[in-house]
């Protein structure tokens, strides 16, 4: 048996690699129809082309069972990666043959080395134009040394591969034909589990799943002993409490399927059902030897938002779940499977404070909930500050890597300078220049769209958590004001054509509008109230141009992530199953003016 995880930076080809391993191991029938990225079973994963949830599979090669876990590559889902590494004895570190080592490469490798796991480096996409596989191997070696790898870890084997073509080789001069070199390297390098199958049972939940018939299902590796279906065990909680439970179902893995087992032993990765309110990190042990495994340490969240009940005039028109009770129960249910998430009550019964690892982490949760029929309002994302023992204010700092054409380097440096970024490296290449910065996490809120605009779409950015450092000072907020609807109704082409002179519109004709809704961006720095529901009055005056067609600009449609980044402190994002709207917290203009006057008087 071999237990291994596949780790890498986002979009370096982990899931495609698993696809080919499954295909070439004979898991699927010859006539079986397969989709690409078969492990990305979640709708959002398939739409966005990223892995959000860690998933495991099992294949057999030369009479050896390979338990493989595909992990997320995005920094916002790093909590998944940390848990998975507790289940395995080795890792495949996948690195793009062109991009080389990226921020998340460093993060996942650091976690693997801390667990003293055996690494196999897979330089993927060797058939990519301008690939530089040998240079990338040198970069990986430097990264191992930088992270303090021991002598055994530094002597890592290297496999060159093209996952999309299903080929691998140990020598770039030799054309590969299949994945045998990769499979053989795994068997030679990654050790079998070093466990005691005769000791009392210990098993820890690393992943949670849910089934409406069996309830919560925990997935993890048996650290020692054996476990049987129907066995009575003790579940040891993180808070020190314990409860006896009976295992109703025990599952192993075969390909992408769960297979019911009667018994499993130390080293096996299994799924267990029937353990009540099992949580990630809980230990299942022998009732006569209730010994807990070390708890899973997860990095703290760095970003938070306020989720509240939708109280706009359009409440209940689009979604099914609109009450605070529904919203609260759904958010607390999410805690059962997402250990990186935090949910706290606030002074208002209609609002909850939700903390996560980043914008993508929280936006995926919001997108999932809206597809389930929920309506809600969320605030502008805010970073979470800490204080050290001396009382000094600390803020989260991100390691930012930007690849950009040379002519835009000055522009990018200027924009990040105002966001309190510190440049640590600039590496020119034939096609792009790579810039590396340490930048406050709050400086990256809304920066991705600004980067794309400033570089005409050529800028590519990646970032990962670096640490907490002393507060770096104020960062400028959004420069432009917004256009705010002055009354409710349906937008008309006549009114929109006039409003276009004031700025960029987010809506087109025929949109349902309410007072206080943000319908565009002002070209100036202050907010402006406009009427986009005004109709052209009929008159008996004939006009030579009366038959001219009104030509409107294409509205700027904001995605969910763009809307969250765009928000100001006095705005909320209203989210329903089919609509994403930005609105003012206080809808009426007169009430906003009173609040502003009172605020200025207090100052």
Binding residues for GTP, as ranges, are 11-16, 124-127
Pairing assessment for the beta strands 90-96 and 118-124 based on DSSP bridges: parallel
**For residues 206 and 381, what is the distance between their CA atoms, to the nearest angstrom?**
29
Q: Which residue has the tokens 């003016």?
A: 593
Question: SS3 of 451, please?
Answer: helix
Whole-angstrom distance, CA of residue 548 vs CA of residue 366: 44
Decide if 433 contacts 426 (C-beta within 8 A).
yes
The answer to whether residues 249 and 213 touch, using CB atoms and an 8 Å cutoff, is no
| d(C-alpha 360, C-alpha 599), whole Å | 33
147/141 Cα distance (integer angstroms): 10
Which residues does the annotation place in the binding site? 11-16, 124-127
Whether the CB-CB separation of 7 and 81 falls below 8 Å is answered with yes
**Residue 221 exposed, middle or buried by CB count within 10 Å (0-12, 13-18, 19+):** buried
> For residue 318, what is the DSSP state?
S
Partners of 254 in beta bridges: 257
- Proportion of the chain in helix, strand, coil states, percent, rounded to 5: 25, 30, 45
Q: What Rg do the C-alpha atoms of the chain give, in angstroms?
A: 27
Nearest to 339 by CA among 35, 79, 7, 73: 79
Block residue for tokens 């049987």: 228
Taking CA atoms, 76 is separated from 50, 380, 417, 454, 464, in Å, by: 12, 18, 24, 25, 8
Cα–Cα separations (whole angstroms), residue 386 to 75, 281, 442, 584? 20, 25, 14, 29
Strand pairing report for 393-404 and 386-387: antiparallel
DSSP letter (8 states) at residue 442: G
SS3 at position 291: coil
- Nearest CA to 304 out of 351, 350, 357 is that of 357
Distance, CA of 257 to CA of 248 (rounded, Å) = 18
**Measuring CA to CA, which residue among 297, 139, 280, 287 is closest to residue 227?**
287
Give the separation between CA 350 and CA 399, rounded to whole angstroms.
36
Are 508 and 496 in contact by the 8 Å Cβ rule? The answer is: yes
> What's the length of the chain?
603
> Are 200 and 286 contacting, i.e. CB atoms less than 8 angstroms apart?
yes
């Amino acid at each position: 048996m071999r237990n291994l995880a596949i780790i890498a930076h986002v979009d370096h080809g982990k899931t495609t690699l698993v696809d080919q391993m499954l295909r070439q191991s004979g898991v699927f029938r010859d006539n079986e129809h397969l989709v690409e990225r078969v492990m990305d079973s979640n709708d959002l994963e398939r739409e966005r082309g990223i892995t959000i949830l860690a998933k495991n599979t099992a294949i057999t090669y030369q009479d050896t069972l390979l338990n493989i876990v595909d992990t997320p590559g995005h920094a916002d889902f790093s909590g998944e990666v940390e848990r998975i590494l507790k289940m395995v004895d080795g890792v495949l570190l996948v690195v793009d043959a062109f991009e080389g080592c990226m921020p998340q490469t460093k993060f996942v490798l650091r976690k693997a080395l801390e667990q003293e796991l055996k690494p196999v480096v897979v330089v993927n996409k060797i058939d990519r134009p301008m690939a530089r596989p040998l240079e990338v191997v040198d970069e990986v070696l430097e990264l191992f040394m930088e992270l303090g790898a021991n002598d055994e870890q530094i002597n890592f084997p290297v496999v060159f591969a093209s996952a999309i073509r299903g080929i691998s080789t140990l020598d770039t001069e030799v054309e590969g034909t299949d994945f045998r070199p990769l499979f053989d390297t795994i068997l030679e390098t990654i050790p079998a589990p070093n466990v005691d199958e005769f000791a009392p049972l210990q098993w820890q939940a690393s992943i949670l799943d849910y089934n409406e018939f069996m309830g919560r299902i925990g997935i993890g590796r048996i650290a020692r002993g054996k476990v049987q279906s129907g066995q009575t065990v003790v579940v040891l909680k993180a808070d020190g409490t314990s409860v006896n439970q009976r295992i109703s179902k025990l599952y192993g893995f075969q390909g992408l399927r769960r297979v019911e087992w009667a018994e499993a032993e130390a080293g096996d990765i299994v799924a267990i059902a029937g353990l009540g309110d099992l949580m990630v990190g809980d230990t299942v042990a022998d009732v006569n030897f209730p010994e807990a495994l070390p708890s899973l340490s997860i990095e703290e969240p760095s970003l938070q938002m306020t989720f509240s009940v939708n109280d706009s005039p359009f409440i209940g028109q689009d979604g099914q779940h609109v009450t605070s009770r529904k919203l609260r129960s759904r958010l607390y249910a999410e805690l059962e499977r997402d250990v990186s998430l935090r949910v706290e009550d606030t002074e208002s019964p209609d609002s909850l404070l939700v903390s996560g690892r980043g914008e993508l982490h929280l936006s995926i949760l919001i997108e999932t909930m809206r597809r389930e029929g929920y309506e809600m309002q969320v605030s502008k994302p805010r970073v979470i500050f800490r204080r050290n023992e001396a009382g000094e204010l600390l803020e989260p700092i991100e390691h930012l890597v930007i690849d950009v054409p040379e002519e835009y380097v000055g522009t990018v440096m200027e924009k990040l300078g105002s966001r309190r970024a510190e440049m640590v490296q600039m590496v020119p290449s034939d096609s792009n220049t790579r810039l590396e910065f340490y930048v406050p996490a709050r400086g990256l809120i809304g920066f991705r769209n600004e980067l794309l605009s400033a570089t005409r779409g050529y800028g590519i950015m990646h970032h990962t958590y670096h640490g907490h450092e002393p507060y770096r000072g104020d960062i400028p907020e959004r420069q432009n004001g917004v256009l705010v609807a002055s009354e409710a109704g349906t937008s008309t082409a006549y009114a929109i054509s006039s409003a276009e002179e004031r700025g960029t519109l987010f809506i087109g004709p025929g949109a349902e509008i309410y007072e206080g809704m943000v319908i565009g961006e002002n070209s100036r720095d202050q907010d402006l109230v406009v009427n986009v529901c005004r109709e052209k009055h009929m008159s008996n005056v004939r006009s030579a141009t009366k038959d001219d067609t009104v030509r409107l600009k294409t509205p700027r449609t904001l995605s969910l992530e763009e809307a969250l980044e765009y928000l100001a402190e006095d705005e909320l994002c209203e989210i329903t199953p089919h609509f994403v709207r930005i609105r003012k917290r206080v809808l009426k203009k007169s009430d906003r003016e009173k609040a502003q006057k009172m605020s200025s008087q207090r100052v």
